[in-house]
Amino acid sequence: MIRFAHFNFNVLDLTQSLAFYKEALGLEPVRDIVPEDGSFKIVYLGDGKSDFVLELTWLRDRTEPYNLGDEEFHLAFETDDYEALHARHAEMGIICFENPEMGISFSKDPDG
Q: What is the CATH number of the domain that holds 40?
A: 3.10.180.10
Task: Give, in order, the Cα–Cα distances in Å from 48 to each of 11, 29, 36.
Answer: 22, 10, 28
Question: What local confidence, expressed as pLDDT, does residue 73 receive?
Answer: 67
Question: What local confidence, expressed as pLDDT, does residue 80 receive?
Answer: 87
Q: Which residues contact 53 (CB under 8 A, 6 or more apart)?
A: 5, 6, 7, 30, 44, 45, 46
Question: What local confidence, expressed as pLDDT, does residue 1 receive?
Answer: 60
pTM of the model: 0.78
Question: What local confidence, expressed as pLDDT, does residue 106 receive?
Answer: 86
Domain residues for the domain of 25 are 7-61+74-107
How many angstroms separate the CA atoms of 71 and 27, rounded? 22
Domain assignment of residue 82, yes or no: yes
Question: What local confidence, expressed as pLDDT, does residue 70 receive?
Answer: 57
Question: What local confidence, expressed as pLDDT, does residue 59 receive?
Answer: 94
- Which residue stretches of the chain have pLDDT < 50? none
Question: What local confidence, expressed as pLDDT, does residue 25 receive?
Answer: 94
Task: Give, in order, the Cα–Cα distances in Å from 95 to each of 65, 78, 86, 108.
Answer: 20, 16, 8, 7
Domain assignment of residue 21, yes or no: yes
Report the 3 state secondary structure along 29-51: EEEEECCCCCCEEEEEEECCCCC
Say how many CA atoms lie within 13 Å of 44 toward its Cβ. Answer: 12
Domain assignment of residue 66, yes or no: no
- Number of folded domains in the chain? 1
